[in-house]
Structure 1
Amino acid sequence: MATSHQVQKSVKAIEDKMVIWRGSGVLVLVLAVVGLLVSQGLAWALLGDPLPSSYIPARDMIGIWLGAGFLFVTNLALERSNKPRTVIDKETGKELVLKEKHDFFFVPMKYWPYLLLLLGVIAYFKK
């Protein structure tokens, strides 16, 4: 069990971080963590606890890939439900197409599944 001092150190470390998103872009982080938690749970259920250290890189890669899959499906659903809206500017008379954007750290959400796949491979080969 964590002591009060350890918890305070963890909270302090988190306070110094900043996450930037627009729209539903925060789901990138949420779904990546969900993928990691699912792979952790499956690894414990199938291989026992503690997990052999040689399996940890594969578990992490699979978890990040699961998160990428969850994110890909979520992004498809968001894109289908996000119909563009056309409005006319009264001053200029020009048509404007409005569509909600979903970004995480200024990168559109639709690119993040591919970045997570790459990150999973990097996590696997990291020593």
Structure 2
Amino acid sequence: MLIWNGGGILVVLIAAVLTVPLGFLAAGFLGSDPAGLGAGAGLVLGAVGVHFAGRKLNAPRQGFHPATGRPVVYRNAHTFFFVPMQYWAFVLPIGGVAAAIGALPLQDPGVPGTPRPAGPRPSPTREGAGPSRSATARPGRSRHRAREARTP
């Protein structure tokens, strides 16, 4: 195939078999927000399985050439996106760490002692104050021109 050769599709299958259940377990026990922690752990554990499966499948085998009878080393090519299976064990944990970091809760800036995010602070709004004056102006005109058009 274009995307995988031999058993290369096992990279996705092994990672999915561990990632999906661990993500659901984390969501069930910890809530839906930290489900990425379970998925990240699944990717890291999947990397271990992919490494050992890739080393086993891509191990060279000793054989003999059928016509000449000379010894030949047969090498298997179990690849996923042109990368041998066992090397995906170094890529999957990176995705696992990224998923786990993405699932970590952000600190609440309203709690004393926590750093505030950079940028301008939002201005307090009054509830029920209605739309601002600029929101009532006609599109394509500035407030100043809209005011000039209303004065006789």
Taking structure 1 as the reference length, the TM-score comes to: 0.63
Please report how far the alpha carbon of residue 63 of structure 1 lies from its aligned counterpart in structure 2 after TM superposition. Answer: 1.5
- Does residue 123 of structure 1 match 2:109? no
2:35 is aligned, of 48, 56, 63, to 56
Residues 38-77 of structure 1: CA distance to partner in whole angstroms, max 9, x if unpaired? 3124325544xxx241x12312211211211221232233
Give the % identical residues: 30
Structure 2, unaligned runs of 5 or more = 104-152
Whose helix proportion is higher, 1 or 2?
1
Paired residues of 1:88 and 1:96 also in contact (CA < 8 A): no
- Does residue 74 of structure 1 match 2:50? no
Q: Secondary structure at the match of 1:24?
A: coil
1:65 is aligned, of 35, 44, 49, to 44
1:13 maps to which residue? none
Farther-moved stretch of structure 1 (71-80 vs 102-111): 71-80
C-alpha separation in 2, matches of 1:113 and 1:26: 14
- Does residue 85 of structure 1 match 2:63? yes
- Amino acid aligned to 1:57: G
Q: Who wins on radius of gyration, i.e. which is larger?
A: 2
Residues 54-106 of structure 1: CA distance to partner in whole angstroms, max 9, x if unpaired? x12312211211211221232233245x524353887xxx9753311110001
C-alpha separation in 2, matches of 1:35 and 1:27: 12
1:34 is aligned, of 17, 23, 40, to 17
Q: Secondary structure at the match of 2:49?
A: helix
Q: 1:112 to 1:21 in 2, by over 3 A?
A: same
Q: 1:79 to 1:19 in 2, by over 3 A?
A: closer
Please report how far the alpha carbon of residue 24 of structure 1 lies from its aligned counterpart in structure 2 after TM superposition. Answer: 0.5
- Does residue 43 of structure 1 match 2:21? no
* Structure 1 moving runs of 4+ over 4 Å: none
Taking structure 2 as the reference length, the TM-score comes to: 0.54
